[in-house]
Amino acid sequence: MRLSRYFLPVAKETPSEAQIVSHQLMLRAGLIKQQQAGVYVWLPFGLKVLRNIEKIVREEQDRSGALELLMPTMQSADLWRESGRYDDYGAEMLRIKDRHERDMLFGPTAEEVVTDVVRTYIRSYKDLPLNLYNIQWKFRDEVRPRFGVMRGREFLMKDAYSFDIDADSAVDAYRKMFLAYLRTFQRLGLRGVPMRAATGPIGGDLSHEFIILAKNGESAVFYDSVYEDKDWTTTDISFENDDASKSARKAMVDEVLAAYAATDEMHEEEQFLANVPEDRRREGRGIEVGHIFFFGDKYSKPMNAKVMGKDGKEHVLQMGSYGIGVSRLVGAVIEASHDEHGIIWPTEIAPFNLGIVNLKSGDTACDELCKKIYDLATAKGLDPLYDDRDERAGAKFATMDVIGVPKQVVIGPRGVANGIVEVKNRKTQEKTEMKIEDFLKSIE
Ligand code: ATP
Ligand code: MG
């Protein structure tokens, strides 16, 4: 992309309406524009990041065996009356009437819709286990939308729903998701710490929140330092349904959960102190990026979702649901990875992976070399961002840093004359000179 043709409204000043650094940087670096309280326009650059995160979330869901579908944002109140949640959900649910005065709602979650799909088509234990997910916009009329996309009213969520014949296999579905979550957050350059959670309005028996440790997190957290050190995903876990895979998954999840973590909402500090050796006790703040639940027949029973079992009898389906805040993750990643110059994207989600800074646009030699690098990088499948604007060098450097392009190559008249370019690492701010030929080879 040539910056002169891109739409990237970078601001020099820190916007005053934003209280936390991720929100400030998302506004400054031109990722989002607020449209109304808790509702945002995703500008081209922000959308690129959102899509990159969505892609990783999708790949790990697919890998775990879950199947993607797409459910509507607009749902009928009647389905929610069947489960009994229409009246219970409260003011966070946006209720709407159509022209026939029928009650509708903008989905805050989709247990009812997916249960209705499954009860329509699934008749036998042979069709199970089944896990269906979608990545779709949700609306919750939060009392206090704040921190930009971290607590929005409209937000993008990945929500998966598992259906099983009995509690045993449902718990195994839960473990599959648990491991898929660890891997997802790891690929995003984040450490997702699972904490046993209160189940809230979705309800149920077994539940974990995945928390990203970050200075500006909404909740205080207490955790065992092993969560800082261990890479939980180096062990390759199989998502097959055979007994060997099941017991391997159980062992792996048990190992993760043997370390201890709690949030202040649970008032478990005292238990925490008792459980973790003194030198491993850590206190911090965290952002909830995922939440998983096993809730048995909470929805399937009132909605009459049953299948025929091996025993020739009908069984009410056992369900779980699994959310990831995809749009919240954009803020969480920035919260966890930035410096005084701006955003530092983890490699897998960086929207552009090579920045090309032309120090003297209009100078034939500089223009030609920049174009050569740009064309080569594009041909090699890199996603380069070429700053070809007629701007001061300082402004160009600041732009590349605030939007967080991981690797930047700087081309100026003196360097070109000497056959040299400067290559900068965004994260370390290290600059190294390279021969033009060597740099071109490195792209090859
Ligand atoms: P919270 O406790 O933060 O309000 P929740 O428990 O209501 O979250 P869930 O119903 O578990 O959220 O939704 C799954 C995920 O969706 C959450 O883990 C979070 O990452 C994301 N999420 C929930 N509410 C919002 C919101 N208002 N804005 C952005 N993301 C959200
Ligand atoms: Mg929650």
Concatenate the DSSP letters of all residues of 239-272 into one string: ---SHHHHHHHHHHHHHHHHS-EEEGGGT-HHHH
Residue 329's contacts (CB-CB under 8 Å, 6 or more residues apart) are: 53, 57, 188, 289
Check whether 200 has a pLDDT greater than 70: no
**Mean pLDDT value across residues 202-215:** 81
Amino acid 94: pLDDT: 98
Does 338 share its domain with 369? no
User: 291: Cβ below 6 Å to ligand 1?
Assistant: yes
Q: Last residue of a domain, which of 283, 317, 343? A: 343
Helix/strand number for the chain, H first, E second: 14, 23
Whole-number percent of the chain with pLDDT over 90: 81
- Percentage of residues in the chain with pLDDT exceeding 70? 96
Report the separation in Å between the CA atom of 214 and the middle of ligand 2, taken as the mean of its atom positions.
Answer: 17
**Cα dihedral: 107, 109, 111, 117 (round 10):** 50
pLDDT of residue 191: 86
Q: What is the pLDDT of residue 53?
A: 98
Nearest to 225 by CA among 259, 196, 192: 259
Residues 6+ apart with CB under 8 A from 108: 89, 92, 93, 94, 138, 139, 140
Residues 99-113 have a mean pLDDT of 98
The CATH number of whichever domain residue 404 belongs to comes to 3.40.50.800
Nearest to 113 by CA among 293, 327, 316, 319: 319
* Conformation bin of residue 101: beta by default, left when phi > 0, alpha when psi is -120 to 50: left
User: Which residue among 343, 377, 397 closes a domain?
Assistant: 343
Same-domain pairing of 290 and 405: no
The neighbouring-strand residues paired with 212 are 192, 287
409 and 285 share a domain?
Answer: no
Shared-domain flag, residues 185 and 220: yes
Query: Ligand 1 within 6 A of 148 CB?
Result: no
Q: For residue 123, what are the contacts with CB-CB under 8 A and spacing of at least 6?
A: 307, 308
Give the span between the Cα atoms of 53 and 278, in whole angstroms: 36
The number of distinct structural domains making up the chain is 2
CATH code of residue 57: 3.30.930.10
- Is 341's pLDDT higher than 90? yes
**What average pLDDT does range 193-217 have in this prediction?**
77
Instruction: Read off the pTM.
Output: 0.95
Ligand 1 atom showing the smallest separation from residue 197 Cα: 6
**Residue 299: which pLDDT band, with cuts at 50, 70 and 90?**
very high
Domain-ending residue, one of 343, 361, 388: 343
At residue 288, the 3 state secondary structure works out as strand
Q: Which residue has the least CA distance to atom 21 on ligand 1?
A: 325
State how far the Cα of 240 lies from the Cα of 249, in Å rounded to an integer.
Answer: 10
Convert the pLDDT of each residue in 251-269 to its tens digit: 999 888 888 888 777 666 7
Residue numbers of the domain that contains 310: 3-343
Higher pLDDT, 270 or 23: 23
Which residue of 92, 157, 216, 295 sits with most ligand 1 atoms within 8 Å of its CB, as the best mutation to test the pocket?
157
How many Cβ atoms sit within 10 Å of the Cβ of residue 6?
Answer: 15
261-263 and 192-196: which strand pairing?
unpaired
Helix/strand/coil for 137: strand
Residue 249: which residues within 8 A CB-CB, separation 6 or more?
172, 175, 176, 179, 237, 238
Q: Is 323's C-beta closer than 6 angstroms to any atom of ligand 1?
A: yes
Task: To the nearest 10°, report the CA torsion of 74, 91, 325, 210.
Answer: -140
Q: Are residues 272 and 405 in the same domain?
A: no
Residues 316 and 419 occupy one common structural domain: no
Bridging pattern class, strands 338-339 and 318-325: unpaired
Q: Cα 433 from chain centroid?
A: 36
Side chain identity at residue 351, one-letter code = P
Q: What is the pLDDT of residues 59-72, one digit of tens each?
A: 999 999 999 999 99
| 221, 369: one domain | no
Asked whether the predicted pLDDT for residue 270 surpasses 80, the reply is no
pLDDT grade for 275, boundaries at 50, 70 and 90: confident
Cα 173 from chain centre:
21
CA-wise closest residue to 214 among 323, 292, 328: 328
Look at residue 229 in the predicted model and tell me its pLDDT. 73
Cβ of residue 290 lying under 6 Å from some atom of ligand 1:
yes
273 and 422 assigned to the same domain: no
pLDDT tens readout for residues 344-374: 999 899 999 999 999 999 999 999 999 999 9
376-414 pLDDT per residue, tens: 999 999 999 999 999 999 999 999 999 999 999 999 999
Check whether residue 238 and residue 147 sit in a common domain: yes
Q: Specify whether 359 is located in the same domain as 430.
A: yes
Q: Kind of pairing, strands 219-224 and 306-308? A: unpaired
Predicted local confidence at residue 235, as pLDDT = 64
Q: How confident is the model at residue 138 (pLDDT cuts 50, 70, 90)?
A: very high
From residue 377, how far is each of 166, 296, 373 by CA, in Å? 53, 51, 6
On whether the CB atoms of residues 289 and 218 are closer than 8 A, the answer is no
- Residue 13 shares a structural domain with residue 36: yes
Where residue 273 falls among pLDDT bands split at 50, 70, 90? confident
What confidence score (pLDDT) does residue 361 get?
95
Nearby residues for ligand 2 (ion, Cβ within 5 Å): 291
Atom of ligand 1 nearest to the CA of 293: 11
Specify whether 176 is located in the same domain as 31.
yes
Any atom of ligand 1 within 6 Å of the Cβ of 151: yes
**Measured between alpha carbons, how far is residue 22 from residues 188, 211, 380, 399, 402 in Å?**
16, 16, 32, 16, 12
Q: How far apart are CA 67 and CA 375, in angstroms?
A: 38
